[in-house]
Amino acid sequence: MAVGADAALAGKVVMVAGASSGMGRATAVAAAAEGASVVLFARRADSLAELEKTITAEGGSAIAYAGDATDRQAVEAAVAAGVEAYGRIDVLVNSVGTNIRNRALTTLTPEGWRELMSANLDAAFVLTQAVLPVFRQQGDGLLVHITSSAARKPDVSGVGYQASKAGVTALAHATMEEERANGIRVSVLFPGFTDTPMVEHRPTPPTAEMLANALQPDDVARMCLAVMSLPARAHVPELVLYPTRS
């Protein structure tokens, strides 16, 4: 990972929540390859340690901090660790999320609903509040929420999943309105069907043909890079990405 001074994210610090797999992992790797110092955050310490080793072995810079994104103290500690290590955080990418197997309205339980709201919406709220003081002090910062096309176009992903992801969208736009005067930007990415470990939670597993036509995590990572690489004067409120053959 030979990174030149003209790399798109040279000198930037990017924190990726949900970095242990899927879109989050791909985004962390891509950001490091473009010169960013990366703060890796997720629940699975072993996966984070492996990713940190992979990035540093390629000449990149990364630190790992394990914790649950719904745990305010853990998230605040991860943000503080990033600032201590690198002096600032320029971007926080929220790639945290889950779905459950019993997702249809007729089978969704109150416990399942609460699980989805916690993992998808509460985590986004906690991450937002944890990083805002750093962004405000800097007078600059970008928050990128990776949600789902299901938040815009109803599908069979389930009412709890769609409601929670739509909530993240509302949170993102409201945050932008409140914080734009402080130099803070908030963007939302809406990927369509993507081949990530979360597809294993589907009631009916996707076919080989469906997976062959799906987006890949690297596709989403490239869109994140495009948004992160823009100058602070430019703001991307929303970006939708679908598979060509969906």
The residues annotated with a catalytic role in the active site are 161
User: Can you say how many angstroms the Cα of residue 85 is from the centroid of all Cα atoms in its chain?
Assistant: 21
Phi and psi of 103, rounded to 5°?
Answer: -110, -15
Using CA of residue 154, residue 157, residue 158, residue 164, what is the dihedral sign?
Answer: negative
Phi and psi of 38, rounded to 5°?
Answer: -120, 130
CB 137 within 8 A of CB 14: no
Q: Could you tell me the two tokens for 223? A: 């869109």
**How many angstroms separate the first and last alpha carbons of the chain?**
34
Q: Could you tell me the two tokens for 224? A: 């994140």
Tell me the C-alpha distance between 41 and 197, whole Å.
Answer: 17
87: left (phi over 0), alpha (psi -120 to 50) or beta: left
Tell me the C-alpha distance between 237 and 188, whole Å.
Answer: 6
Q: Could you tell me the two tokens for 111? A: 């416990």
